[in-house]
Structure 1
């Protein structure tokens, strides 16, 4: 498995473009297009928020057809809580692409991101779309990735390739996300492409697992968006034998897809709004995996833990308090707590001033681990989280102004 360049257009047969059509203030790019040379299987995972954007409703319906070819995404407007106008705008985005490329509407998947409740200026997308099509090219992946950004500070792209079943298979991707980042699918927008030949049920199964082990393991602020979407489109142009679920090739593809998703998830977390710390939480020894995940998620979303991370205050008691309120089976005297290998709590009590001084040095790092051993079983889980800074408050206090 090797990382590669090219993002969403790294696999064979994909082109992309991005431009400014006027949804955002100039010169920010705000409209992205990705086209596969051939139609192919598509998989998707969407937000669990019950208030959903019009594009999510459209994409869920289109996913029933299992085939995709085009991704069209705007930034600057989320097109959610916009009533019938919003649905008509979403359907027109689909029609624009379907008519231009002479394909069934169900092969077009759309996305929107930005301010909630703002009507989508579909007339600007309509006017800009012909120029976007002209810009399609193999080198347009970065431009497309830039066009889906909102409060992101940099483009998020990835690409991995590996020989599977006698052919070199590539998975590329792009993502946006900086705020409203929390587990429960999918914490942002992410679009993946692959030239693998793979059965759609196998692709759906692989994507759901990869999302659960990557995007569903990051948290910046505990908010799950109304627009969260992860899509993966395959076109089969690598020429491999079609991958079926349960095969050796499928397991290799799963690992490749997980690597791409995890890379994008980490980029999203590191670029969280106002973030200065990137912290991995590792929980082991829980009664079962669900308990381990509850503990990891409670630590990851604790405002008191996150502000301590920002202030570089080695207040390990906040972590223990989060462990205790997670709703998991516990015996405090069996819990062990450490930070990047430096123990601070064992057998029901702290390890003293010398241990705290060592942990304080860990807190000054930009990246480190929080390690909890529950001491009850074999359940384990991990998450990645960030600190909560003054800058996060400033960004979100003035997001619309």
Structure 2
């Protein structure tokens, strides 16, 4: 009989191991609205933040704050119940119609978070005996959604179309689902969606695209990655988040009308949770308008991306190839990455250190994210500091 383990002792030992490996996570308390100019509770001087996913600078947009105020006056604060009881309001209905039209889909369904959308969609579409084909570096919510479905999870090497084609051809599963991020959150590269869709159609599979980091940034008027590539198909299912470039909160799934109807009846993370406050849906209607009218923001963001890429002169560290606001600098060692992040922080630049298991072992990195709210001067200061730190840390 195995000796009983004191669970608290095990936790204490586990925390010590995380500290020794440089893998313990700690939160920082922000005391100002989301903005490049940020104040933190643990330091007196402000920092310039290069770590939020507020790609268009909408999170603190006054027009959205005003929309929230109007929504609160009309709807109050809570929804009171799940969408399928009494928690589905006219604001939710209007938002879903707007998102469907904006993305060129027949219908859309509003979820509380992107994580809930992903863990709700996959188990509703496939189950035991079926197969999910997933890019190896997909977001954790896609991995968890696949595991919850109880379908066979078949991973293919990152963006390796030949490997995916071989795995699809070898599978005799009655239902097949390919899942991928559009923009990979830790690498910043874009999935080959046209080729993935061709494989999905050839093998009668669904293609679920998580457009968390593309929606609002990519495509005409920020309509997302599918619009960026000009893709339409009844086999496409789009998930987009509303708390990144959109600047508010929540997520949506868009696709054929009957697919959305199926999810309303079968997606557990939609059915068994209280509906998001309708005031947020009201604000999101304004946010979609701002995205549609946001070409100037996207043009400035593109110029910032080019300025950073052209300015960095790294010899040991590696700036990964990315044309998106996610600009990762791979350092490798966990402790060195933490040290560089702290050195940047000491100079008033907040760039987080990303370590395993979020990224592969030996691939710890700084995850730089740019926003249309950044200035050229702020990016120039980050570039100069990184170039100097790499030279002095050698």
Normalising by the smaller structure, the TM-score range is under 0.3
Larger strand proportion of the pair: 1
Larger helix proportion of the pair: 2
Q: TM-score, normalised by structure 2?
A: 0.22
Greater relative contact order (Cα 8 A, min sep 6): structure 1 or 2?
2
Q: TM-score, normalised by structure 1?
A: 0.21
